[in-house]
Amino acid sequence: MAINLQKGQKIDIGLSQISVGLGWTPNEGTGHDFDLDASAFMINSSRFIPQEEYFVFYGNTDSPNMALHHTGDDPTGGNSAEGDDEVIEVDLNKVDSNIQEVLFVVTIHDAIARKQNFGQVRNSYIRIVDNGTNTEIAKYELDEDFSIETAVEFGRLYKRQGKWKFEASGIGYKEDLAFFLGKYYQGQIIK
């Protein structure tokens, strides 16, 4: 049976091959599709991604060593009426030893121009699925009202004493993807 996580709750993963699924239902009547984008930042002990390839999103679908794979962009939130809209597959056995954390962020593409925010999104969640059995093991539903936020840090995988854990974050930002790149990457900004 899957665990329903609360904000700040942490669990042991205990698996090496998982998928991190993100889903949402956009409200109708805003005049534009809601293009939410799932991204993953593979962070070292200095709290930075070591190279741009460690930032996984629809424009860079595979991390080094194929530890993370983004299955593709859903520009409308309509990939699945019942399931995940965007998925990042994770093989924790392949994650470089210098990576201590994988941060999962969802941003609204072109949010300012489209006048969109997470207050206009319903049923948003992040969930962890066991790839071996295709069974959901944990789910965090974003039930807070992010009425002005255009990005949310949904959760993070992190390594403690050699074991991977997951924490439900639920931290909202009135920012775009460039903000997170500036925060976690010290090289040239990826275009």
- Give the model's pLDDT for residue 82: 61
How much is the pLDDT for 191? 47
pLDDT of residue 190: 47
The domain segmentation of the chain, as residue ranges, is: 30-134+145-184
Burial 68-106 (b: 16+ CB within 10 A, else e): bbbbebbeebebeeeebbbbbbbbbeebeeebbbbbbbb
**Model pLDDT for residues 33-56, shown as the tens digit of each residue:** 777 888 999 999 999 999 999 999
Report pLDDT for 83. 76
Look up the CATH architecture of domain 30-134+145-184: Sandwich (2.60)
Residue recorded with tokens 């900004």: 189
Top-confidence residue, 78 or 93: 93
**pLDDT tens-digit profile of 121-153?**
778 888 999 999 999 999 998 776 777 888 889
Contact 157, 126 (CB under 8 A): no
**Mean pLDDT, rounded, for 21-28:** 77
pLDDT greater than 90 at residue 88: yes
